Amino acid sequence: MSKINQEMINKIIVAVGGSNNIARNGNCMTRLRLGLHDRHLADHSKLKQIDGVMGVIDGDDQLQIILGPGKAQKAQELMAIALQTNDSSVDEQSPQSLDEVAKAQKSQLKSKQNSLIQGFFAKFATIFTPLIPGFIAAGLLLGIATVLEQNFVIGVKEHSSFLVDSINYTKVFSKGLFTFLGILVGYNAQQAFGGTGVNGAILASLFLLIYVPVGSIDQKATLLLIEPCLTPDILISKSFNILSSIKACLPEKLESIPGYYSGMKDFFSFTINPKGNIIGILIAAILGAKVERFIRRFVPDNFDMLLTSTITLLIMGAVTYLAIMPIGAYLFDGMSFLFKHLNSNPIGAAILAGLFLIAVMFGIHQGFVPVYIALVADQGFNSLFPILAMAGGGQVGAAIALFIRSPKGSLLRKQISGAIIPGFLGIGEPLIYGVTLPRIKPFITACIGGAAGGFFIGLVAMLGLPMGLNSVFGPSGVIAIPFMTSHDGALPAMLVYLVGLAITYVSGFIITYFFGSKNVDLR
């Protein structure tokens, strides 16, 4: 298995046009992300020949180099060291001959054809990737707490007060994350699109404030208001997300529940409806970044700190109240309705699972995160995530079939041996870029295998047991099992997910063994 070392980093620097061509250096869980001054200087074919590089994606303003789990962070650190020392010995002259320049220009024009959409979704990685460790940690703690509560507290007459306190403590992190998630998203989104992060956080806070005076409704009236919604199903099965459950029950009256009062009940006589939540926050932050950059062009440098953010907030606050919140509310409701009904339809779930690897291949899968957030707010769990996770299971089954079909001692067997364990753990990029995608047929059969698992989960949902991830984001593969939950408890959801994975493994294996391994390179 290839290792990340300085020699490999030096080869990458040479292949992307030298250290002077690298403007930014970052990473996500599996990819080294480089911002280049001149993208046409990057030689993709040379990059792919470097041992350890599993694939290359050319985004709008990022060159993404797939290295695999546990390697991207180390590569980023070594790259930072190399760039800091600015070792010119690893640089090469940019192409000078007429043929090389023509070839480079052709490559640049071709990459621009698809770079706009790729680049837009690549920015979502910079918004949500830093939040993923927190999503996983909070979701894991919540999963443990939910299982303990359902088996040792609910319905048990005598239970330990220490256990109850421990469960409440374990839950508090997910409650804190989901309550103030919009602030984090707003900050990262405005930064990702070229603005000042704190402005995005302030705009996001407008969606979290309450616009009904706290004194206008007393505690007794509040209890009477929400009492019809406090059913045993909500108190027990959805105890981790009671507010979302009440919101679904009383969507028009939720604003009357006391919270942190904004000090204003309307905007110059216009009704304020902050229901748009994460969709509205993203729109406000992205547009706010563009407004900020526009204003900065006309503000003298000496007054930039004083005026730019001030003017930006005044403009964007009004735009948010008058336009973005209403639009965001419609988009939020529409997105929730669409995907919730797709998820409970076996055909729709099969299509989603079957096509998801294509989104991963182009690096735009982070664009699903706003949908995840909308589903959690609407349902209390992320019903889309386990369906999309089936795609990775199809890859695992296909890889096992190729391993059996390939001759002993082959390079393919060596590649699969190094990538199959991460595949079971839900990290599918090594299998995609190193095994199935280069051979095309196995990639297609792997997608079909994932679709079979998606069909099963959609069928179970249609029959009355919708289930999903207890967090916005989490791991996939077998380690996602403790994260599953449903209105009927965590254990049934875990069982459905486990059966779905088994179906994808078997389907991916059978279809690839008989149809996806013929006339392909098995060496």
Give the active site residues. 28
Cα(518)–Cα(410) distance, integer angstroms = 16
- Decide: 425 and 477 in contact? Cβ < 8 Å: yes
Q: Give Cα separations from 93 to 14, 15, 48, 60, 104 (angstroms).
A: 9, 11, 20, 24, 14
3-state secondary structure 69-132: CCCHHHHHHHHHHHHHHCCHHHCCCCCCCHHHHHHHHHHHHHHHHHHHHHHHHHHHHHHHHHHH
Q: Could you give the 3-state DSSP secondary structure of residue 147?
A: helix
Residue 299, phi then psi, degrees to nearest 5: -95, 130
- Rg of the chain on CA atoms, in Å: 25
User: In this structure, what DSSP letter does residue 382 have?
Assistant: B
DSSP for 317-377, please give it: HHHIIIIIHHHHHHHHHHHHHHHHHHHTSHHHHHHHHHHHHHHHHTT-GGGGHHHHHHHHH
Cα(105)–Cα(132) distance, integer angstroms = 37
* Helix, strand, coil abundance in the chain, percent, nearest 5: 70, 5, 25
Q: Which of 96, 298, 320, 83 has its CA nearest to residue 199?
A: 320
Dihedral-angle region of residue 409 (phi above 0 means left; psi in -120 to 50 means alpha; beta otherwise): left
